[in-house]
Amino acid sequence: MAGRRGALIVLEGVDRAGKTTQSRKLVAALCAAGQRAELLRFPERSTEIGKLLSSYLEKKSEVEDHSVHLLFSANRWEQVPLIKEKLNQGITLIVDRYAFSGVAFTNAKENFSLDWCKQPDVGLPKPDLVVFLHLKLAEAVERGGFGRERYEDGAFQERALRCFYHLMEDRTLNWKMVDASKSIEDVHKEICALSEDIIQTVARRPLGKLWT
């Protein structure tokens, strides 16, 4: 297996689309099939920066909007050495949210251009596959009312969704839209098939840089 790198697979989508459910199931299925796969999530709340973000999301603290955007990005950058190391060891990484959520949530605020929002994440490891779990906001709300964390409000989520659509127009990225309104098992099967394919395809290709 020497020389084969792991794939970087990101799951994105609005709140409650099933990102956490599906990323866990995917890691379990890949491991059960004898692949080496591990789960990452952003924000990664366990680091010093992650603790600031967690407190901000729980509305226990206020952080200026530009500043918090840069902290979310920094929280991804601080994991880059680990991401590269794992991928080089042949471990596939399944990532629950990535830079796209970071951009969409800040762009949903007033007076933040898409370009400004993207800049801090330019050059991050480029995902080999971005699965977008597509779910109407009305259906997402039926999966349980919004929680009390920051950003969990309908109008805000709607603006974030529109930004995701813009980001998906970027053909330099391998976006795959999956209908997240189907059953957990059906969605899972679709994501497994996409993932198994990409793991084979990228094993001997170099890792790219996001938005460069």
Ligand X SMILES: Nc1ncnc2c1ncn2[C@@H]1O[C@H](COP(=O)(O)OP(=O)(O)O)[C@@H](O)[C@H]1O
Which CB, 21 or 119, lies closer to ligand X? 21
**Which residues ranging from 92 to 121 are in contact with ligand X (CB under 6 A)?**
none
3-state secondary structure the chain: CCCCCCCEEEEEECCCCCHHHHHHHHHHHHHHCCCCEEEEECCCCCCHHHHHHHHHHCCCCCCCHHHHHHHHHHHHHCCHHHHHHHHHCCCEEEEECCHHHHHHHHHCCCCCCHHHHHHHHCCCECCCEEEEEECCHHHHHHCCCCCCCCCCCHHHHHHHHHHHHHHHCCCCCCEEEEECCCCHHHHHHHHHHHHHHHHHHHCCCCCCECCC
Total residues contacting ligand X by CB under 6 A comes to 14
**Which residues ranging from 19 to 58 are in contact with ligand X (CB under 6 A)?**
19-21
Which CB, 85 or 158, lies closer to ligand X? 158
Cα 206 from Cα 125, distance rounded (Å): 10
Nearest to Mg ion by Cβ — which residue? 20
Binding-site partner at residue 15 among ligand X, Mg ion, none, CB < 5 to 8 Å by type: ligand X
Which CB, 18 or 127, lies closer to Mg ion? 18
**Which residues ranging from 149 to 208 are in contact with ligand X (CB under 6 A)?**
180, 183-184, 187
Distance of closest approach, residue 186 Cβ to ligand X, in angstroms? 8
Binding-site partner at residue 81 among ligand X, Mg ion, none, CB < 5 to 8 Å by type: none
Q: Which of 20, 35, 119, 181 binds Mg ion (CB under 5 A)?
A: 20
Which residues of the chain form contacts with Mg ion (CB under 5 A)?
A: 19-20
Residues lying near ligand X in the complex (CB under 6 A) are found at 13, 15-21, 143-144, 180, 183-184, 187
